[in-house]
């Protein structure tokens, strides 16, 4: 990041914009938007903006959790399955007559609990993150299949639950899922930026041994990262159950891939130590906007997957280019200074 | 550089005459009877050490002498089996790093402990962040307070206010050290433990670091300083404690010591005789034809290597000197094909060649012992045998497809024996060896490819005195059998001793050439050293 003086020239400002994180991805979004609005007048409209927002909230919640885990140097493959299972929990409990609020809290707690199991397996048993969460990916999905016996949970919707799911909108375009996603983004952003826990996440992901020697409790930080991810998956599950009005056993399949893609497009590094909440938003937005644009343009859904993959590649490449440019700007002039120091030392 | 050191030693006013009565001040920290055993090894046996206010206490010992274990115990990473730690007269026990820090002990470890993605300021306070005062504020970081606490120290230790906002990974080694010192000072550390702080620093950077150590001492901090470089000690250390094989050997006043006497304390009488004899023994030089193995003609790669001409012949060791950033490692990378030259010609054995990648280089008989052993050379989980054979598996494959493991073991055994690697066997994992023995395995790997030219980049970094001599012996054996060697080193004494000629690089160019060799006298060597330094730092105009 660069710090510009007030009298910076246009060139300096332009350079600062080009080299700022996420600039590549944002330019992709802008390009897609321009292209889509030329193709169709429907694209730039409040209604369509709302559609995009509604489509992206669930992935955004998962991507926020994924960003936290990626920053700490881990990866969570189980979020899609956990989200599905939590949706099942809330639906089944409400079918069984448990009050809505209690059911929702229990479902969120279940998500956090499954995240904690992930974290404990990783930190206590020392299993690789990939293996532990891949196992949870299978177990949570399997449990939902067993529990639903293969047929969806139905008939749990109540009037208030339609509001929770965003299908009924007492506040206009601000549906409950959108409000929750905004709040979650804000909380994650503040946590990452302004709290010791956030600082420790970056420290552990950037150099876990160094963080340990600095007195950071590395296992605790990693455990908490997975709890956050599971908790956010639980929240997403509760909201999703309200939107789908039925919990099929394959609910949320493949979402972990979108979450990882969104986090990485947003600038999180698989190697840890890097990532931002706003990046998760930008990454999710990229996926949602391109999917929406292709829908409007009538692109074959199979092709949409290909394009999504290419977008992922393109945004990471642009991010690399931007980083390279940035490092060139920062590069410190070599030698003369050092040489004179040594000379005077003599 | 040792010239500078010895002149400094005369104005070092404070010297200790006895281990019990130091003029510096009161005892801050003591380890009493510390012991630690691992399965099969006694790492530390009944070792006691006292540190006083405003005192630089050097800790010497070969690899495996117990220095790391002692540091581990004092910094709370290693739990001792016996003994106690006494701080301000009360006995305590540390079970993690945070506890050691909370009583004012800061350890600056040899390995990279800064988080490269965090800024310097964030690194300084990592694990001990300052929080806001209010009830809710307890959960929030107080950036301003953190900045304020270190701001006035920044310039004194060679950083700028701007550096605080930079990711630590973008700073050079010296500034990273300064950041770690600030990490100590931000919390009023009373004891600072420095584990080989000068490894990887160029000479002028070491000088700045020593200045920083003096400043710390003047603030009344007790410093425990681990180093392998005996030339650094004199004039800086107030007390020296020597460990050997996990035992406390002596605590002495540097004024009563010479580098030789310290080596004797470190390695013991019997082994020092062996080490010294092998160091000077370079009997049968190569007597065959002095053919050129490598010739570089105006090789350039902007901006770090410019217009370099040099020649390496059979049977000679060419040293390359220069301060950090002079382009030495970059030149080695070009010869190895890791980077490509923008222009210029490279000839091997008289034929002009194009080296596009390290594999090409290996085929031409060029092998490198890289600078960073841990990250660039050692395959930690592999056995010694596998580490040796990896660069040329064709020697141990049958029909180009199947690895013949018994042939691999047999050949590996030959190298392990020839190079006198201390190990329980070739199936041992390399990560369990000491640094010096790991380096020997890396050299064995190169020799296994039967190279004509070997490049040694900082070949003795972080290994002890005896092992250094062993490495020199291996270099001599290689060239005396008709090979050619390039040695890159930031340690001038080493370079002067091991090379036949020294090429000095400055700002990517060859600044000059200086003769060297093991037969030069001490006086000659210090003249050469001055010559080299002058060439290395003279500003281009």
Per-residue pLDDT tens digits for A49-76:
888 888 899 999 999 999 999 999 999 9
Question: CA-to-CA distance for A153 and A169, rounded, in angstroms?
Answer: 24
Mean predicted confidence (pLDDT) in B243-267: 85
Contact state of B116 with A345 under an 8 Å Cβ cutoff: no
> Are B457 and B445 contained in the same domain?
no
Contact state of A273 with B165 under an 8 Å Cβ cutoff: no
Q: Which of B449, B472, B487 is the last residue of a domain?
A: B449
Tell me: the pLDDT tens digits for B385-413?
A: 888 888 888 888 887 778 888 888 888 88
Confidence of residue A15 (pLDDT cuts 50, 70, 90): confident
- Domain presence at residue B204: yes
- pLDDT at A248 > cutoff 90: yes
DSSP string, B278-319: HHH---S---S---EEEEEEEEEETTTEEEEEEEEETT-EEE
- Write down the residue that tokens 């470089």 correspond to: B229
Contact state of A342 with B112 under an 8 Å Cβ cutoff: no
- Residues in Cβ contact with A131 at an 8 Å cutoff, skipping those fewer than 6 apart: none
> Are B122 and B97 contained in the same domain?
no
- Domain presence at residue B519: yes
Contact state of A346 with B126 under an 8 Å Cβ cutoff: no
- Between chain A and chain B, the number of residue pairs with CB atoms below 8 A apart is 120
Q: How many Å lie between the alpha carbon of A131 and the closest alpha carbon of chain B?
A: 20
Tell me: the pLDDT tens digits for B201-235?
A: 777 777 888 888 898 899 889 999 988 777 788 88
Q: Which CATH number is B320's domain given?
A: 3.40.50.300
Q: Which residue of chain A comes nearest to B144, CA vs CA?
A: A194
Q: Strand B292-301 relative to strand B343-348: parallel, antiparallel, unpaired?
A: antiparallel
8 Å CB contact between A104 and A44: no
Dihedrals φ, ψ of B410, to 5°? -60, -50
Candidates A205, A330, A339; nearest CB to B539: A339
- Domain presence at residue B371: no
The percent of residues in chain A predicted with pLDDT above 70, rounded, is 89
Q: Which residue of chain B comes nearest to A208, CA vs CA?
A: B115
> Are B503 and B528 contained in the same domain?
yes
- pLDDT at B314 > cutoff 70: yes
Exposure class string for B131-146: b at 16+ Cβ within 10 A, else e: ebeeeeeeebbbbeeb
- Greater model confidence, B531 or B200: B531
Mean predicted confidence (pLDDT) in B125-139: 82
Report the range out of A8-22, B4-18, B110-124 with the highest average pLDDT.
B110-124
pLDDT at A291: 87
The percent of residues in chain B predicted with pLDDT above 90, rounded, is 19
Q: Is B68 within 8 Å of chain A by CB? A: no
What is the distance between the terminal CA atoms of chain B, rounded to a whole angstrom? 24
- Greater model confidence, A128 or B285: A128
pLDDT at B237: 93
> Are B202 and B262 contained in the same domain?
yes
The DSSP output letter for B429 is: B
Tell me: the pLDDT tens digits for B423-441?
A: 888 888 888 887 888 888 9
> Are B4 and B100 contained in the same domain?
yes
Confidence of residue B20 (pLDDT cuts 50, 70, 90): very low
Mean predicted confidence (pLDDT) in B491-504: 87
Q: Which ranges of B396-434 does DSSP label H, i.e. alpha helix?
A: 405-418
Tell me: the pLDDT tens digits for B66-97?
A: 888 899 999 988 889 999 999 888 888 888 88
Total count of residues recorded for chain A = 346
> Are B76 and B139 contained in the same domain?
no
Q: How many Å lie between the alpha carbon of B522 and the closest alpha carbon of chain A?
A: 20
Q: Is B128 within 8 Å of chain A by CB? A: yes
pLDDT at B538: 65
> Which token pair is A269?
């590094």
Candidates A196, A330, A340; nearest CB to B539: A340
Candidates B107, B116, B208; nearest CB to A207: B116
- pLDDT at B14 > cutoff 50: no
List CB contacts (< 8 A) between A214 and chain B.
Answer: 97, 113, 123, 126-128, 183
pLDDT at B399: 75
pLDDT at A251: 94
- Domain presence at residue B276: no
Lowest-pLDDT range of A155-159, A219-223, B276-280: B276-280
List CB contacts (< 8 A) between B96 and chain A.
Answer: 215
- Domain presence at residue B75: yes
pLDDT at A57: 95
> Are B31 and B61 contained in the same domain?
yes
Question: CA-to-CA distance for B23 and B434, rounded, in angstroms?
Answer: 37
Tell me: the pLDDT tens digits for B319-350?
A: 998 877 788 888 999 998 888 888 899 999 98
Q: Which residue of chain B comes nearest to A273, CA vs CA?
A: B117
Q: Which residue of chain A comes nearest to B537, CA vs CA?
A: A339
> Are B116 and B100 contained in the same domain?
no
What is the distance between the terminal CA atoms of chain A, rounded to a whole angstrom? 38
- Domain presence at residue B518: yes
Question: CA-to-CA distance for B337 and B364, rounded, in angstroms?
Answer: 11
**Count of CB atoms within 10 A of residue A128's CB?**
12
The DSSP output letter for B111 is: S
Question: CA-to-CA distance for B222 and B206, rounded, in angstroms?
Answer: 19
List CB contacts (< 8 A) between A211 and chain B.
Answer: 115, 126-127
Lay out the sheet containing B305-313: strands in order across.
B305-313, B292-301, B343-348, B351-353
- Domain presence at residue B373: no
Q: Assign B503 to helix, strand or coil.
A: strand
Candidates A194, A207, A215; nearest CB to B112: A207
pLDDT at B273: 39
pLDDT at A326: 61
8 Å CB contact between B300 and B344: yes
Cα distances (angstroms) measured from residue A202 to each of A218, B9, B137: 11, 44, 20
Mean predicted confidence (pLDDT) in B509-526: 81
Q: Is B165 within 8 Å of chain A by CB? A: yes
pLDDT at A8: 67
- Residues in Cβ contact with B217 at an 8 Å cutoff, skipping those fewer than 6 apart: B54, B55, B56, B223
> Are B477 and B357 contained in the same domain?
yes
Q: Is B499 within 8 Å of chain A by CB? A: no
Q: How many Å lie between the alpha carbon of A14 and the closest alpha carbon of chain B?
A: 21
Exposure class string for B205-230: b at 16+ Cβ within 10 A, else e: bbbbbbebbeebbeeebbbbbbbbbb
pLDDT at B10: 34
Mean predicted confidence (pLDDT) in B306-316: 92
Name the domain count of chain B. Answer: 4
Confidence of residue B378 (pLDDT cuts 50, 70, 90): confident
- Write down the residue that tokens 């006895």 correspond to: B18
Q: Which of B188, B204, B223 is the last residue of a domain?
A: B188
Compute the mean pLDDT over every residue in chain A, rounded to the nearest whole number: 86
> Are B5 and B72 contained in the same domain?
yes
Mean predicted confidence (pLDDT) in B359-376: 85
- Greater model confidence, A121 or B506: A121
Q: Which of B449, B477, B506 is the last residue of a domain?
A: B449
The parent domain of residue B239 ranges over 1-104+189-271
Question: CA-to-CA distance for B480 and A317, rounded, in angstroms?
Answer: 50
- pLDDT at A332 > cutoff 70: no
Tell me: the pLDDT tens digits for B485-496?
A: 999 987 777 888
Contact state of B115 with A273 under an 8 Å Cβ cutoff: yes
> Are B262 and B323 contained in the same domain?
no
Those residues of chain A whose CB sits closer than 8 Å to some CB in chain B are 3, 194-196, 199-200, 202-203, 205-207, 209-217, 273-274, 327, 330, 332, 334-336, 338-343, 345-346
Of B116, B94, B113, B114, which Cα lies nearest the Cα of B105?
B94
Total count of residues recorded for chain B = 541
CA angle B98, B236, B487 (to 5 degrees): 90
List CB contacts (< 8 A) between B176 and chain A.
Answer: none
> Are B97 and B220 contained in the same domain?
yes
Tell me: the pLDDT tens digits for B152-161?
A: 888 877 888 8
- Write down the residue that tokens 């004899």 correspond to: B277
- Domain presence at residue B427: yes
List CB contacts (< 8 A) between A194 and chain B.
Answer: 140-141
Mean predicted confidence (pLDDT) in A326-334: 44
Q: What interface predicted TM-score (ipTM) does this complex get?
A: 0.76
Q: How many Å lie between the alpha carbon of B437 and the closest alpha carbon of chain A?
A: 24
CA angle A36, A40, A42 (to 5 degrees): 105
Q: How many Å lie between the alpha carbon of B321 and the closest alpha carbon of chain A?
A: 14
């Amino acid at each position: 990041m660069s710090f510009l003086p007030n009298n910076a020239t246009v060139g300096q400002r332009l350079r600062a914009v080009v080299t700022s994180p996420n600039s590549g991805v944002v330019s992709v979004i802008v390009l897609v938007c321009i292209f889509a609005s030329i193709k169709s007048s429907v694209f730039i409209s409040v209604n369509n903006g709302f559609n995009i927002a509604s489509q992206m909230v669930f992935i955004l919640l998962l991507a926020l959790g994924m960003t936290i885990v990626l920053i700490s140097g881990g990866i969570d493959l189980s979020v899609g399955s956990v989200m599905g299972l939590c949706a099942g929990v809330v639906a089944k409990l409400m079918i069984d007559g448990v009050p809505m609020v209690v059911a929702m809290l229990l479902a969120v707690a279940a998500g956090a609990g499954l995240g904690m199991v992930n974290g404990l397996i990783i930190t206590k048993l020392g299993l690789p993150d990939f293996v532990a969460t891949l196992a949870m990916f299978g177990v949570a999905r399997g449990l939902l299949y067993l529990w639903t016996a293969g047929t969806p949970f139905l008939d749990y919707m109540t009037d208030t639950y339609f509001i929770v799911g965003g299908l009924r909108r007492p506040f206009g375009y601000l549906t409950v899922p959108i409000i929750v996603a905004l709040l979650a983004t804000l909380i994650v952003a503040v946590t990452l930026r302004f709290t010791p826990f956030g600082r420790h996440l970056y420290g552990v992901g950037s150099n876990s041994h160094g963080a340990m020697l600095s007195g950071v409790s590395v296992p605790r930080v990693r455990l908490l990262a997975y709890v956050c991810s599971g908790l956010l998956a639980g929240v997403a599950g509760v909201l999703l159950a309200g939107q789908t009005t039925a919990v099929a056993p394959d609910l949320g399949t493949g979402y972990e891939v979108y979450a990882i893609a969104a986090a990485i497009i947003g600038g999180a590094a698989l190697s840890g130590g890097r990532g931002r909440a706003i990046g998760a938003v930008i990454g999710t937005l990229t996926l949602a906007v391109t999917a929406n644009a292709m829908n409007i343009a009538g692109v074959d859904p199979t092709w949409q997957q290909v394009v999504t993959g290419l977008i992922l590649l393109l945004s990471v490449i642009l991010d690399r280019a931007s980083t390279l440019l940035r490092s060139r700007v920062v590069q410190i002039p070599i030698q003369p200074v050092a040489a004179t120091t040594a000379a005077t030392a003599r | 550089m040792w010239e500078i050191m010895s002149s400094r030693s005369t104005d070092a006013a404070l010297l200790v005459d006895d281990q019990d009565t130091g003029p510096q001040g009161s005892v801050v920290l003591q380890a009493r009877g510390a012991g630690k055993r691992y399965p099969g090894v006694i790492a530390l046996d009944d070792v006691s050490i006292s540190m006083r206010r405003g005192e630089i206490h050097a800790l010497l010992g070969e690899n495996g002498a117990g220095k790391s274990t002692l540091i581990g115990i004092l910094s709370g990473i290693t739990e001792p089996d016996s003994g106690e730690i006494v701080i301000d007269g009360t006995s305590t026990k540390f079970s993690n790093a945070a506890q050691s820090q909370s009583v004012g002990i800061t350890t600056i470890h040899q390995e990279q402990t800064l988080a490269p993605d965090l800024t310097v300021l964030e690194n300084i306070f990592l694990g001990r962040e300052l929080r806001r005062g209010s009830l809710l504020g307890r959960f929030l970081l107080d950036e301003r307070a953190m900045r304020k606490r270190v701001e006035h120290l920044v310039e004194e230790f060679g950083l700028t206010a701007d550096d605080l906002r930079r990711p630590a990974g973008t700073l050079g080694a010296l500034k990273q050290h300064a950041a770690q010192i600030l990490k100590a000072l931000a919390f009023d550390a009373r004891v600072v433990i420095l584990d080989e702080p000068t490894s990887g620093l160029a000479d002028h950077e070491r000088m700045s670091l020593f200045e920083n150590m003096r400043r710390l001492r003047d603030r009344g901090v007790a410093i425990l300083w681990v180093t392998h470089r005996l030339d650094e000690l004199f004039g800086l250390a107030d007390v020296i404690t020597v460990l050997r094989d996990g035992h406390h050997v002596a605590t002495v006043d540097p004024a009563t010591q010479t580098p030789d006497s310290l080596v004797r304390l470190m390695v013991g009488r019997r082994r020092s005789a062996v080490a010294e004899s092998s160091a000077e023994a370079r009997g049968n030089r190569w007597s065959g034809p002095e053919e050129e193995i490598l010739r570089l003609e105006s090789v350039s790669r902007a901006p770090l290597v410019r217009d370099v001409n040099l020649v390496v012949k059979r049977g000679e060791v060419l040293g390359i000197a220069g301060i950090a950033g002079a382009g030495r490692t970059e030149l080695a990378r070009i010869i190895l094909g890791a980077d490509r030259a923008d222009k210029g010609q490279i000839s091997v054995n008289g034929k002009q060649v194009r080296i596009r990648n390290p594999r090409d280089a290996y085929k031409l008989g060029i092998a490198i012992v890289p600078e960073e052993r841990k990250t660039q050379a050692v395959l930690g989980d592999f056995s010694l045998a596998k580490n040796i054979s990896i660069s040329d598996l064709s020697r141990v494959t049958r029909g180009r497809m199947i690895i013949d493991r018994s042939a691999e073991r047999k050949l590996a055994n030959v190298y392990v024996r020839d190079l006198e690697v201390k190990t329980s066997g070739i199936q041992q994992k390399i990560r369990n060896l000491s640094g010096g023995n790991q380096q020997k395995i890396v050299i064995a790997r190169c020799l296994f490819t039967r190279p004509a030219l070997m490049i040694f980049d900082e070949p003795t970094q972080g290994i002890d005195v005896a092992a250094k001599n062993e490495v020199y012996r291996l270099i001599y054996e290689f060239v005396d059998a008709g090979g050619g060697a390039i040695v890159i080193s930031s340690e001038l004494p080493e370079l002067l001793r091991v090379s036949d000629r020294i090429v000095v690089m400055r700002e990517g160019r060859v600044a000059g050439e200086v003769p060297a060799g093991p037969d030069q006298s001490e006086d000659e060597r210090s003249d050469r050293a001055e010559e080299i330094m002058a060439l290395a730092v003279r500003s281009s105009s």
